Amino acid sequence: MPEISPEEELDLRFCAAVRALPGGKAGPADRTAPVAARTTLTGEQAIALLDAQAGSRHLDLAARYLRAEGRGFYTIGSAGHEANAAVAAAVRPRDPALLHYRSGAFYLARAAQVPGSEPLRDVLLGLVAAREEPIAGGRHKVFGNHALAVIPQTSTIASHLPRAVGLAFSIGRAGKLGVRSPWPADAITVASFGDASTSHSTATGAINAACRTAYQGLPMPLLLVCEDNGLGISVRTPDGWVAAAHSGRPALRYFSADGCDPVACFDAAAAAAAYVRASRSPAFLHLKLVRFLGHAGSDAEISYRSQAEIAADYDRDPLLGTARLIVAAGLLRPGQVIDRYEALRGRVRKIADQVVNSRQLASRAEVTGPLAPHHPDQVARRAARAGHPPARESAFGRRLPEDAGPLTLADAINRTLADGLAAYPELVVFGEDVGRKGGVYGVTRGLARRFGVGRVFDTLLDEQAILGLGLGAGLSGLLPVPEIQYLAYLHNAEDQLRGEAASMQFFSAGQYRNPMVVRVAGLGYQKGFGGHFHNDNAVGVLRDIPGLVVAVPARAEDAAPMLRTCLAAASVDGSVCVFLEPIALYHTRDLYEPGDGAWLSPYAGPDRWAEAHVPIGRGRGYGSGTDLTLVTFGNGLPMSLRVARRLAAAGVGVRVFDLRWLAPLPAEQLRAEAERTGRVLVVDETRRSGGVSEGVFAALADAGYRGTMARVASADSFIPLGDAAAHVLVSETDIELAAGRLLD
Ligand SMILES: Cc1ncc(C[n+]2csc(CCOP(=O)(O)OP(=O)(O)O)c2C)c(N)n1
Ligand SMILES: [Mg+2]
């Protein structure tokens, strides 16, 4: 007998097992009645489950044959996990769902509740990377659909869970603040994931954040669904571990069911969903499942599982479980189950044949189109719009910031945040210590008192959770301004920015967005509070994130309009902006001499916001020298301005160009500033390798600049404590020496 493939075996075994079922009761059963005692699952619902599950199974089989035909590009399937259809049946179609890559039957079961859906086609279009695929437009194979409230995920396991926690939190918060949200007030968030994923630190952090929030008495309507097949690719999750780790946790209600029993699954899902909806507290729904066909098409599971173990799973097929139920309840005869199954096979094949010739993304422009929309005129108009005078007055009291005299960088950011809170009712500011204390450096001082703890609040100490809250808040109509206390502490959570925030418009073809302005205190040169972690000068990790905006204001006069621009870009274009604030300049007052107050600036009132507008990617030039251009940003700006003044006294004409934006770089202006002197010295406080100066050199070369260029950058080192820091950071002496060499 010829050997058969795992796909054929699965298919044949299911059909044979259904045919072998005892013929069932005579006469048509009442489909509106529960299928068994002590369940609310009706006959109609059971048949809908079977359809969703069988459809999902045939999509998995199609993924394999499309791959074999060289026409499909993705083979991770849902076979063995189809019990998740019962979860979709137990929640509502407007409950936002963030799905595991094996939640295909959930997707189909939800779509069946929303008229006009074509879920088989959606998934098949995804498999062949078709441009018309409804969520990612050929950019990824993922379960997502705006009309179905299914938010697309990346392939990074568990990375969607901080967002799910943020989303669950934001459903209620948006309502409380009177912000129009896409989610009904009584919605719950559903997030599914695998068993191995529960051990990922992103999952443990997110689940902890959910528990802690609920423990505090705050709403956290989150249904966590663990689809437990006992394996993470080839690695076994210890027996009982998922239950041991998640039952009995504070503020988390644990539910479980055997995935091959549709009634048990539905009942547990319904009970869990009802609990979450009514109590606004999180629940963990643990479904015991099996995984058919290996991890993916390329995975020969026979290399790490015995034949006997693989064969034993066939009896636990969730699809067979539903068939057994339906036949036993007299709803369909075995032959009718097979007919439905075969009809779905035919439909899937027919659609697959239609979609195989679909157009894929055909140009770089088409691929990157939705990455980061950019409407500078609208952003400029939005940035110039202040809150209504009464809102400003209640924000500032009778003393408006424009009447307060010159301000420091920290004060200017504080006043701009207050103006932002007055101008955007949906704006929320949060992070570690930003509320009651007003920030480690006082930047958010007074905001919680004036705007209330609903809008300005402290979070738990977990940067992933902070960014995840931003991600979920943005999806709920809020305009989040999370703070990361120090640049060094962005790195442990960086994927939430890189993999999640920045990719959302890309992987949803612009249908979902997570606007956000992440304030990050960072960079070196702090006197007194030293060491690497409070003086991190590494920004390489931000510079290559597609579409991310990176702003570095060096002074009060720039910080205010730049922050307004970021808020407006987030609001108008859904931009993800990092606003990197140089800690060492927060409270700096003087530039050239002690007491000159030259680093302070008065705050511009709203009547001057239009003229003071700073577009994204617009740098700022100082001076008109024709001998040398110093290109810099952040702490490099005051150092360069001081050096320029000393060189001017020696008869050298220097101009200084502050990039202000590290992404996108002001390339055109940069070239013009460089060509005015033909000699460029880049003053870069970040590291020599992977730092900003590499980007500046490349931008100049790309723009066709052919003059000389040199750079001073900080050492490829972490920053040591105390005065030793000066050995690795760029100094004014370094700048002067390098300038001398360039001028020679
Ligand atoms: C952060 C991360 N690390 C590694 C991978 C590669 N990977 C993909 S799926 C997977 C196993 C996941 O197992 P589990 O969570 O149990 O889900 P299952 O596939 O069994 O449904 C791994 C290691 C990944 N996608 N993301
Ligand atoms: Mg698993």
Give nearest CA residue, ligand 1 atom 17. 194
Q: Across the beta sheet with 654-658, what order do the strands follow? A: 620-622, 654-658, 628-632, 679-687, 708-714
* Atom nearest to 228 CA in ligand 1: 16
Q: What does the angle CA 453 – CA 459 – CA 465 come to, to the nearest 5 degrees?
A: 135
Q: How do residues 692-741 score in pLDDT, each as one tens digit?
A: 999 999 999 999 999 999 999 999 999 999 999 999 999 999 999 999 99
Q: Could you tell me the end-to-end alpha-carbon distance of the chain, in angstroms, rounded to an integer?
A: 85
200 is catalytic: no
Alpha-carbon span 169 to 96, nearest angstrom: 12
Whether the Cβ atoms of residue 408 and residue 589 lie closer than 8 Å to each other: yes
From 142, 160, 233, mutation site for ligand 1 pocket: most ligand atoms within 8 A of C-beta: 233
Q: How far does the centroid of ligand 2 lie from the alpha carbon of residue 158, in Å?
A: 12
The Cα-based distances of 305 to 13, 57, 291, 309 in angstroms read: 19, 22, 12, 6
- Output the CA 155–ligand 1 centroid distance in Å: 8
Q: How far is the CA of 230 from the centre of ligand 2 (A)?
A: 5
Helices then strands (H, E): number in the chain? 27, 20
Strand-by-strand arrangement of the 456-458 sheet: 456-458, 427-431, 479-484, 516-522, 576-582, 549-551, 661-663
Q: What integer pLDDT is reported at residue 26 of this predicted model?
A: 46
**Whole-number pLDDT of residue 29:** 78
Q: What is the Å distance from ligand 2's center to 196 Cα?
A: 5
Burial of 589 (0-12, 13-18, 19+ CB in 10 A): middle
Please report where in the chains the tokens 């999180």 appear, as a residue: 282
Atom of ligand 1 nearest to the CA of 156: 26
**pLDDT < 50 stretches in the chain:** 26
Residue 229 alpha carbon, nearest atom of ligand 1: 20
Cβ-Cβ contacts under 8 Å for 336 (sequence gap 6 or more) = none
CB-based pocket (< 6 A), ligand 1? 102, 155-157, 194-197, 227, 229, 231-233, 291, 295
Pairing mode of beta strands 516-522, 576-582: parallel
Among the bound ligands, name the one nearest to the CA of residue 101: 1
Distance in angstroms (rounded) separating the CA atoms of residues 462 and 439? 16
What is the pLDDT at residue 2?
Answer: 64
Nearest in space to 253 (alpha carbons), one of 239, 272, 225: 272
Return the ligand number nearest the Cα of 192. 1
Report residue 236: phi and psi, to 5°.
Answer: -80, 135
Residue type, 544: D
- Angle made by CA atoms 30, 35, 39, in degrees to the nearest 5: 130
| pLDDT on residue 183 | 98
Q: Which ligand is nearest to the CA of 199?
A: 1
Atom of ligand 1 nearest to the CA of 195: 16
- Structure-block tokens of residue 28: 């048509």
Q: How far does residue 81's CA lie from ligand 1's centre (Å)?
A: 15
Q: What is the β-pairing status of strands 661-663 and 549-551?
A: antiparallel
Q: Could you write out the three-class secondary structure of 396-415?
A: HCCCCHHHCCCECHHHHHHH
Atom of ligand 1 minimally distant from the CA of 237: 16
How far is Cα 132 from Cα 27, in angstroms, rounded to an integer? 45
d(CA 707, CA 698): 13
Amino acid identity of 271? A
- Residue of 616, 617, 612 lying closest to 601 (CA atoms): 612
SS3 assignment, position 284: strand
Ligand nearest to the CA of 158: 1
Bridge partners, residue 551, by sequence: 579, 661
**Residue 735 · residue 643 · CB < 8 Å:** yes
Q: How far apart are CA 479 and CA 573, in angstroms?
A: 12
> Is-contact 47 337, C-beta < 8 A?
no
Structure tokens at 79: 């076979």
144 φ/ψ sector (left φ>0, alpha ψ -120 to 50, else beta): beta
**Around ion ligand 2, which residues have CB less than 5 A away?**
194-196, 229, 231
* Residues in CB range of 494: below 8 A, 6 or more apart: 541
d(CA 391, CA 388): 5
pLDDT score, position 24 = 60
How many angstroms separate the alpha carbon of residue 198 from the centre of ligand 2?
Answer: 9
Choosing from 156, 157, 301 the residue with most ligand 1 atoms within 8 A of its CB, the one to mutate for a pocket test is: 157
| Catalytic annotation, pick one of 534, 587, 613, 727 | 534
238-255 as b/e, with b when 16 or more CB fall inside 10 Å? eeeebbebbeebebbbbb
Residue nearest to atom 25 of ligand 1 (CA): 156
The model's pLDDT over 27-56, given as tens digits with 9 standing for 90+, comes to 567 899 999 888 999 999 999 999 999 999
